[in-house]
Amino acid sequence: MLRSLLVFCLVCVAAPAMAQEYKSKELADAARDWRQELIDGIPANKKQPNLVAGLRRAAEIEYQAKDYRAAVGRLRSAIANGADDGLVWLRLAQSELAAQDDHAMASAYTAYLKSTDPVERGAALFVIGRDYDRHDKQKEALAAFEAGLGFTRLSAIVERVEELRRLVAFRVTKVEVQAE
């Protein structure tokens, strides 16, 4: 009994560490450039870190009210003023995705790299997958979703992964018509 409890605990702790690591050079470059652009948005001597908590609270209220563009603006301002953790990047990515902003994947990749919490890392990968899916890039979406499922489970994502597997497996690439 003690042995099985020990094995169960080991599996629970090791599972996130054994999750498939997601890497994309293209996204890494875009994320690095986007992060630097936001951080450099306010000169170092003009940053106001005391505003960060208020900006994050206001952004959360706007996100809940589905005012995604306003939430994006507040979160970008919070990052420019010194907020640079995985959670703020994740909320920015989610807001950008909802607002159909082109920076959603770069922000999500930054959140994925900065987060240590498996749920946050999985959610960041789901944002990347949804954005790829929105742009009809099924293979890339499938890879991001599957990597995200290694960190956390979401029934809607599991269903979409099954659909994408079928789409990718049976994709028509060329059609020839011959007339007699």
Q: Is 56 helix (H, G, I), strand (E, B) or coil?
A: helix
| 56-78 pLDDT per residue, tens | 999 999 999 999 999 999 999 99
pLDDT at 92: 97
| 2-46 pLDDT per residue, tens | 565 444 444 444 444 444 589 999 999 999 999 999 999 999 999
Go through the domains of the chain in sequence order and give each one's CATH number.
Answer: 23-167 (1.25.40.10)
Count how many residues are written for the chain: 180
Round to whole Å and give the CA distance between 104 and 59. 16
| 141-173 pLDDT per residue, tens | 999 999 999 999 888 898 999 998 888 886 556
Give residue 30's region: left, alpha or beta (phi > 0; psi -120 to 50).
alpha
Structure-block tokens of residue 4? 């099985």
